[in-house]
A and B are shown apart, each in its own frame.
Chain A
């Protein structure tokens, strides 16, 4: 299952299914959230951005966790494919973090009156994005790709150790320096009508992540192994 040719074979089988299911759930969740959930009595329709903002923020963090696990596997067992997984997950995680930041500031403008506040959570998300950027930058700077995989697995392991510290220290910094102006967690305890579409959105976003990751990884595997016989055989067969 782990070797590149085998992965390519079984992922070709599940890819159409994954494509179908993930896009269906994603679109269903967004439609339900954006059009059919009740309007918030305080914020009006603006709150609906939560159906994009919260899942992508959560995903930005859990992809980093996933990358650290891949990094550990790469470092300890030298599994080739987990390094490629790590590499293919990084841009996806960075994009979701960026989406969370952008939608957050779009949400912040009408509700808080400003695009950006130096709130603890905003700051730590921004730093998470910087760490993603560092990982992508490091990988692209090393020509030998197997070496680059191991380099970024070192970095992602260091990152997973430092992220809780960053979160905590930013929290302390905020509580000590200025009274925390806003709290993102104070979403008025949601009604099930609002909560159920959010859950579906979570599922949809995770499935989209799985889809993007599989597609990225397939491309990566083919690029890395382009000189191997199984790749040429695969594509020659497809053409026939």
Chain B
């Protein structure tokens, strides 16, 4: 469904690139300076654009009644919600991963840090999609800024671990610990956040 309208997957991508390119313009085009900032910049841009992307995940299905079918069907509804988030992440998160490769060139990241960056972004943006689904479900039909306020404080561990993984890879240190923590958070988040999202969607049917 989302593929039919290019805006769903193009917009977060363009947003990501614009945010990335603003940092050298606003701060300084100096190579070493940018390299030290790069993990944080890429991660903040990825968080913001995945938040932007997830915000409309349920709104159309809510309007046309697809969401009603989730709860009428025989399948457990949290599995359906998980599938919905997964599809949404594949459509919007994946372009961001590709764009992060380009932006790592712009920001002079060393090649050795590309692998941890991609791995941590895969884990992190998916966790963000799960979180964003709760925010979107709670603020269904309300302002997007509310959803952002709900979700952003919860995304801080992801941001910390993600930037720590990339910047320790720049310093040639071991980064696997950070990725393991992110994976553990994702493993807890998938069942927990999906169940809470189902509850949050159900609120809209009262």
Contacts and interface: CB of A to CB of B under 8 A. Distances in A.
Interface of A: 75, 127, 130-131, 133-134, 137-138, 141, 144, 146-147, 150-151, 154-155, 157-159, 161-162, 165-166, 168-170, 172-173, 176-177
B134 A154 contact: yes
Contact of A147 (B161, B167, B181, B203): B203
B164 A177 contact: yes
Nearest to B182: A169
A131 B200 contact: no
Nearest to B159: A169
B206 interface: yes
Interface of B: 134, 138-139, 142-143, 146, 149-150, 152-154, 156-157, 160-161, 164, 167-168, 181, 185, 188, 192-193, 196, 199-200, 203, 206
Given A127-B153, A154-B138, A176-B164, A138 B146 contact: yes
Main DSSP-derived SS at the A contact region: helix
A141 B164 contact: no
A151 B203 contact: yes
A104 B120 CA distance: 34
Given A141-B139, A162-B157, A154 B196 contact: yes
Contact of B134 (A127, A131, A137, A158): A158
8 contacts: A130-B152, A134-B150, A138-B150, A144-B206, A158-B196, A165-B185, A166-B157, A169-B161
B150 A155 contact: yes
A196 to B, nearest CB: 37
A162 B160 CA distance: 13
Nearest to A144: B206
Given A137-B146, A158-B134, A173 B203 contact: no
A154 B131 CA distance: 12
> Nearest 9 pairs between A and B by C-beta?
A169-B157, A130-B153, A173-B160, A169-B160, A134-B150, A131-B153, A165-B157, A134-B149, A162-B154
Nearest to B151: A134
Contacts of B146: 137-138, 141
B149 A137 contact: yes
Contacts of B193: 158
A138 B143 CA distance: 11
Contacts of B181: 169
A161 B191 CA distance: 13
Task: Output the residue of A141, A157, A169 with the most chain B CB within 10 A.
Answer: A169
A155 B138 contact: yes
Given A134-B150, A169-B181, A172-B160, 18 more contacts: A75-B199, A133-B149, A134-B149, A134-B153, A137-B146, A138-B138, A138-B150, A141-B142, A141-B143, A141-B146, A146-B206, A147-B206, A150-B203, A155-B138, A157-B196, A162-B154, A168-B157, A173-B164
B156 A166 contact: yes
Given A127-B156, A169-B156, A176 B196 contact: no
Nearest to B155: A162
A150 B181 CA distance: 30
